[in-house]
Amino acid sequence: MPELPEVETTRRGIEPHLVGRRVDDVVLRRRELRWPIPAEIKRALIGREILATRRRAKYLLLDNALGSAIIHLGMSGVLRVLPASTAVGRHDHIDLQLDSGRVLRFTDPRRFGCLLWQAAGETHPLLAELGPEPLSDDFDGARLFRLSRGRRGPVKNFIMDQATVVGVGNIYAAESLFRAGIDPRRAAGRVSLARYQALAAAIRDILNYAIERGGTTLRDFLNPDGLPGYFEQELLVYGREGLPCRVCATALKTLRLGQRASCYCPRCQR
C-alpha cells in the first residue's frame, strides 16, 4: 500500500497541474470503488476552480469553494495528469477533466481506493479521529511517551495506530524502530521518554528523506511522472529477512505483529 511519502510525492506531482484550474467534467467509469462515490461529487466539482491540494495522513484533498474531494490510493491506486486524448485503460476509473486540456486520471486495478466528498466547514468521519501529522510540530517524543503509559501492546503497533500519529505504515515503522534501536516487540509502555524522543526524530527524518527520494517503490506504485521511487534501495530492515544487518552483520529476523511482517535486528534493537 502506498504510504505517506508516496502519497506526498503524488500530491507534489499533481499540484502544479491542478491548482488554479477549473474542473470541466467528472467522468466516473465506476460508481463505486472501496465505497460508493457520493452522488453530489459531480455537482460539487464541475465548474469549480481547484484552490489547493492537501494531504491528511494517506488521504489527498482537492479543495474548492464548496469543500474538498477526498482521494485515497488504496492498495494499487495511481493518479496521473495526462492529455485528455490519452486512451483509457481497463482500470482507469475516474477522470477529472481540467480546463487546461488535461485530465487527472485515477487508475486502481484492485479498486481499494476511494473518491469521497467533504463539505466546507465539516470533517469527514474518516478524518475525524486521526492523530497529528508526523512532520508537524504537534508530533514529538513527549506525545508518544504520554500516550504510551500503561500500554502493553508492541511499540510497533502503537506507532502504526492512526490515533497516535498518522501515516507511519509498516515500512517506515520498521525502519524508524531500527534507527532508534528499539525492538518492535517491546511493550509501548516500557519505552522511556529518551527512546521515544529518538524514535520521533527517526520517524521524522526517515519520512522526510523518503519524500525527497520519491517514496518507496511498492508492487504497484509509480510516481505521477511514471517513475518509481528510489528509497527502496536504501531500506535497512524491511523486506530483508535473513540478510545480514548493515550495521552489525547479524542475520535479520522476521516475526508477525498485528498480522504484519516485522523485520528487525536481534542485536541492534532492544
- Give whole-number Cα distances, 173 to 37, 97, 180, 200, in Å: 32, 37, 11, 11
Secondary structure class of 188 (helix, strand, coil): helix
151 annotated ligand-binding residue: yes
Q: Whole-angstrom Cα distance, residue 147 to residue 151?
A: 8
Do 88 and 30 form a contact (C-beta atoms < 8 A)? no
DSSP state of 232: G
Catalytic (active site) residue 244: no
Spatial neighbors of 88 by CB under 8 A, at least 6 apart, are 29, 95
30 annotated ligand-binding residue: no
Q: Whole-angstrom Cα distance, residue 89 to residue 111?
A: 14
The pairing of strands 78-83 and 102-107 is antiparallel
Catalytic residue among 2, 5, 154, 224: 2
Catalytic (active site) residue 6: no
Catalytic residue among 58, 80, 105, 179: 58
Nearest to 107 by CA among 83, 82, 84, 73: 73
Catalytic (active site) residue 2: yes
DSSP state of 33: S
DSSP state of 22: B
Per the DSSP assignment, residues forming a β-bridge with 143 are: none
- Residue 171's CB is within 10 A of a number of other CB atoms, namely 24
Three cell numbers, residue 44: 460539487
Catalytic (active site) residue 234: no
93 annotated ligand-binding residue: no
Catalytic residue among 3, 6, 8, 175: 3
Q: Whole-angstrom Cα distance, residue 143 to residue 31?
A: 41
Catalytic residue among 34, 185, 204, 260: 260
Residues catalogued as catalytic:
2-3, 58, 260
Residue ranges for the binding site for DNA? 91, 110, 151
Residue ranges for the binding site? 91, 110, 151
